[in-house]
Amino acid sequence: MKSAVTTVISAADAAGRFPSMSDFESVKGSFDRALPRLEAAEKLASCIDKFTNLAVDAVYQSGSYEQANKDKCVRDIHHYLRLINYCLVTGGTGPLDEWGISGMREIIRIQLLPTSAYIEAFIFIRDEIKINDVMSQQAETEFKGLLDYLINALA
């Protein structure tokens, strides 16, 4: 799975060479940024149910979606947040790409799901929930970057 380290190793292996000084630099760079990421992952894991419920409640309050689907929406939002948690840990978008985004269009189309509900929920998490209360500024930036990535992929 793609992460900062595996990308470097794949490239080195394709060329049949040992990891070079610039490879070490890039690995080291990713480690330097790792602590805020891990903090974001930790805090997200502890708030994942809260964020999910807040977002889904807000979306379904508007009344534009069938209440019967609410449970499924909760499940999916929870699933996507879990994948974001994984992405925060790996430091790349691999888990979201491989387990959340590839094939998603096909599934959504065949089940006639309203993607706008998901998008609204993630925008709610990004803009309305005070993420700052639970995690530091840097961690929040990492988290929001991945939310943006997911919103763009769903749109």
- Contacts to another protein by CB under 8 A: 1, 3, 5-6, 8-10, 12-13, 16-19, 24, 27-28, 31, 34-35, 38, 41-42, 44-46, 48, 81-82, 85-86, 89-91, 94-95, 99
Q: Residue 86: which residues within 8 A CB-CB, separation 6 or more?
A: 95, 96, 99
How many other β-carbons are positioned within 10 Å of the β-carbon of residue 25? 11
**In the complex with another protein, which residue's Cβ is closer, 9 or 153?**
9
By residue count, the chain amounts to: 155
- Shortest distance, position 129 Cβ to another protein, whole Å: 17
Our CA angle for 62, 131, 43, nearest 5°, is 120
**In the complex with another protein, which residue's Cβ is closer, 28 or 72?**
28
- Give CA–CA dist 73/83, Å, rounded: 15
- Shortest distance, position 105 Cβ to another protein, whole Å: 21
**In the complex with another protein, which residue's Cβ is closer, 45 or 65?**
45
